[in-house]
Amino acid sequence: MKISYSMMALAALLWGAGQAAAYTVTTPAGQTVDVTFMNDNILRVTSLHAGQAAAAPTAAVMKPEAVDVTVTDGPIVTLTSPSGLSATVDKSSGAVNISSGGARMVYDAGVRTTDADGHQSLSLAYLGKGTFYGAGERGHSVNLEGDTLVMYNRQNYGYTAGDPRISQMNITMPLFVAKAGYAIVFDDYAAATMVMGNPIVYTTESSEPVTYYYIDGHGSLPEVSHLLTELVGRQDLPPLWALGYITSKYGYHDRRETTGVIDTLRREGYPVDGVVLDLYWYGKEQDMGRLDWDPVQWPDHSRMLADLKKRGVNTVAISQPYVLRNGRGVDNYNELRDGGMLLRDTTGAPQEVKIWVGEGGMLDVSNPDTRAWLRDRYRRLTDEGITGWWGDLGEPEVHPETGVHHNGLPTRLYHNLYGNDWSAIIYDLFAEEYPDTRLMTMMRGGTTGLQRYSVFPWSTDVSRSWGGLQPQITIMLNSGLSGLGYMGHDVGGFAIDPAAPYDPELYVRWLQLGTFSPILRTHAQATAEPYHYPQQRDIIRPLILERYRWLPYNYTLAYRNSLFGEPLVQPIGYYDDESLPASPDVTDQYLWGRDVMIAPVLTQGATSREVVFPQGKWVDMRSPAAVYAGGTTATVDAPLEVLPMFARAGAIIPMADYKMDNTTQYRTDTYTLNVYPVEGESGSYTLYEDDLTSRSAIAAGRYAAVDMTDSMTDGKVTFTAKFSGSYPGLKPVKKLTVKFHGIDTAPAAVTVDGKTLRGKAVKYTPEDGILTITTDWNISNGLKIEF
C-alpha cells in the first residue's frame, strides 16, 4: 500500500504537533525502531531493546520540521522524503536501509549489543567507496577509512607528523563525513571508539542506547556542511579583530612587557589586533584559579586594557579548569570546596587533582552553582576590559577517572562534553549581558557542536619543527568538515626543542600557512613575534599586511560559515561535480573558499613543489598567463618568499588595498576587485557586508550582498555587479578599483555602463598583463564593465 501525505496529520505516525515525521515499529523480539525525519534531508534512527528508554537528544539543536513523506506499507515499510531521502524498516528484524535518490547508502542490521560493562555497540554497513573525513580534530590522516578512532579528548604535547598520538587529539567528535556526500552523527559524548571498517562499528561506554542521524547531502560536501551545522549548530559571526593578527606567548609576564610587544610591532610596521595573556596575568603558575589580576605585575590593569583598546588592540586572557591550593587561588579553592562546586570522587569528597604546577581541585561546570560562580568572575573581568577569553587545558588535560560530576556522570562519560559546557558559560554571559558584542573564545576541548558557542579552537602545543608544521592542514580539514570552521594553530610552533630553538625558514613557511588559516596567531615559548626574525622582515611583514588586504574576502568566508556552515579551510575536492572524475585527497594544499587554492611549502629547503589541480581551470595568481587544467599536476617555483596560490578561472577576489594598523580602519566603501577571466569560462562571487560589529546582523537581516559575475567569450570580457540589502552606516557610493588579470593586450575600448572610459580611469600594464579600471559606483544602480 503506497500513500503520499503529510505525516503531520496522522497521530499514529508522529510524536506530536510541530515535530518531525516519525515511524515506529516493534519487532516480534520486542525491539523498537524509530525513524524520524528531522527535515527533508536528515533522519534520526533509534533502536531500543525491550525495556530500554531512549536517551534525550544532546547533539542536535535544530527543531524538527513537518515533512511530507511517502509511505509504502507492508512487511518492509518504505519512507521517502520529497528530496529523495528514503529509509526502509524491516518489521520482523528491525533492519533499516537508508538510500538517497534510489541508491542504497547505509545498512543498519538493527543489531545492538551490550557487553558485560554495559557498553553499547551498533554497526552500520555502507555501499560504495569508503572515504571518510571529520571525527573532530584528527591530524594523522585526511581519509579515516580503516582507522580505529578513539572518542576521548587528549592533549599531545610537542607532537609532530607521524606521531600516532595525533589520531586522538583535543576535540573528538563521534561523527564522520563521507566523500560520497553524506554524514553520520552519533548522538553521544561518552568515551567511545569508532572503527571505520565496513561495517563501521561504534561502541560507547555509556549504558544508554545510541541514536544516530543520517545527513543526506545528495553527493555534495557543501550541502553536508550546511545540513550538519543546521543539525548541531553554527558559529556566530566573529568579531572583525579576530580576523586580524594576534600576538601571543607563554607568556607575557607583566604590563611593561605586554605594552612593549605592541610598541615594537607597531614600530616595525606590523598591524596588530589582539594580544593574548597567558597565566602570568594572575601572578605565577601556581596561582591558577585565582582569576584576578596581580597588582604588582599589572598595576592599573584597567587603564592598560583601555589604552590597548584605544590603539585597536583587544586583550584575551587565559583561564583553566583547575583551582590550586598551593598558590594564591587557595581562597577560591576553599570557597568552591565548601560550596560543593568542585569535582568529587566516588565517596563524595573533593577529587584531588595534580597538574604540572601544583595540586587542588577541578571546576565542575556541570554544576549550576559552579557555572554561576564562573560567570560572575568572567563578567567582572570583562567589564574591566578583557575582550576575549582563552579556555586552556579544557580536554580536560587532567581529569581523574575516579571523579564524579554534579550531574551524576563519572569522568569517562562527561569528559568530552566538558569543553562545550565551559564554553556555554561564556557564550550565555555575552548573549545575555553583552548582546551587541561579538565573542571570541579560544577553547581546545569539547565535542560535537562546540562551534555554536563562538569557539576559535587551535591545535595546541605543537612542536616547533617541520614535523609540527606538516599535520596542520589535515587538522584544519578534518575539524572544518566536522563543523569547527575556525580551527587554527600556534603559528611558528609552540614547543621548542632546546637543540634547535630558532629556525627562520620554518617561521616564514609557517606564517605563510597561518596567513591563510582561520586565525593568524603567533604563539610559542619564546621568539614568537615576527620582529625576532629581522633578516626575513621583507618576507614576513608583507605576509601580515596581506592578511589585512584579504579582509573583504575573509570576512565573506566568515559570513558563509555563519550562514551555511562552510569551513574556511576546505579539501580541494569540496566543490567537485559528481559527474566528473573526483579530485584526490591531499594533505598539503587546500581551498581557501571556493575560488582560491593554497599550496604552502611544508618541507625544509624546498624551493619548488608539486601542485595537484582539482576540477576546473586554475590561474597562477603570481603569473596569470599560466592556466592549469583540473586533474593535472605541475611543479611550480616556490622560493622562500613565495606562497603558491591559484585562483579558479573566473574568480573575483575582493581586497582592501590600503594601509591599516588594525581592523578598526577597515572600510566597506572602498575595494580592489581582482578578476581572473579565462576564455570560455565564467565566474560569480558574492561579497558580504554589514556594520562589522552587530552580533545579530544575520538574524536581523541587517547585512548586504554584492553579487558579481564575469565571463570571457571570444576575447570579450564582461563584468557585472549588483547590490542588495542594507545595514546601519551603509554608504551609497563605493570606490572601486577593478583589476583584470591575465589580459595579454590592451583593449581598444573599455565601457562602464555603456559609456567609454578614458584617461586615468583606465590603465593597462603590459609587463604584468593587468587592466585596471577605477570608478565610483552608486549602489542603487547595477554596474557593467565590458571590453
Q: Model pTM? A: 0.96
User: Collapsing DSSP states into helix, strand and coil, what is residue 200?
Assistant: strand
Q: Give the type of residue at 386.
A: I
- Report the side by side order of strands in the sheet with 314-319: 441-443, 388-391, 314-319, 274-277, 245-248, 520-522
Cα 279 to Cα 272, 273, 315, distances in angstroms: 21, 20, 13
Summarize pLDDT for 749-775 with one digit per residue, the tens.
999 999 999 999 999 999 999 999 999
Summarize pLDDT for 102-129 with one digit per residue, the tens.
999 999 999 999 999 999 999 999 987 8
Asked whether residue 441 is domain-assigned, the answer is: no
Asked whether residue 697 is domain-assigned, the answer is: yes
Range 679-690 average pLDDT: 98
DSSP string, 108-159: E---EEE-TT--EEEEEEE-S---EE-SBS--S-S--TT-EEEES----TTB
* Domain total of the chain: 2
Asked whether residue 238 is domain-assigned, the answer is: no
pLDDT band (50, 70, 90) for residue 64: confident
Summarize pLDDT for 528-572 with one digit per residue, the tens.
999 999 999 999 999 999 999 999 999 999 999 999 999 999 999
Q: Which of 232, 260, 292 is the last residue of a domain?
A: 232
For residue 705, give the CATH number of its domain: 2.60.40.1180
Summarize pLDDT for 399-438 with one digit per residue, the tens.
999 999 999 999 999 999 999 999 999 999 999 999 999 9
**Per mean pLDDT, which range of 207-211, 226-230, 447-451, 521-525 is the poorest?**
207-211
Asked whether residue 476 is domain-assigned, the answer is: no
Bridge partner list, 773? 738, 762
Summarize pLDDT for 586-609 with one digit per residue, the tens.
999 999 999 999 999 999 999 999
Nearest 5°: CA angle at 14, between 8 and 18? 55
Q: What is the pLDDT of residue 55?
A: 82
Q: What is the pLDDT of residue 20?
A: 60
Give me the domain span that covers residue 741.
667-786
Helices 551-564 and 537-549: crossing angle, nearest 10°? 50
> Does pLDDT of 11 surpass 50?
no
Asked whether residue 498 is domain-assigned, the answer is: no
Asked whether residue 163 is domain-assigned, the answer is: yes
> Does pLDDT of 704 surpass 60?
yes
Asked whether residue 523 is domain-assigned, the answer is: no
With a pLDDT cut of 70, the percent of the chain lying above it is 97
Cell (9 digits) for 43: 533522519
Q: Which of 205, 232, 259 is the last residue of a domain?
A: 232
Mean pLDDT, rounded, of the chain? 96
- 22 with 14: CB under 8 angstroms? yes
Asked whether residue 760 is domain-assigned, the answer is: yes
For residue 155, give the CATH number of its domain: 2.60.40.1760
Summarize pLDDT for 280-299 with one digit per residue, the tens.
999 999 999 999 999 999 99
Cell (9 digits) for 32: 523498537
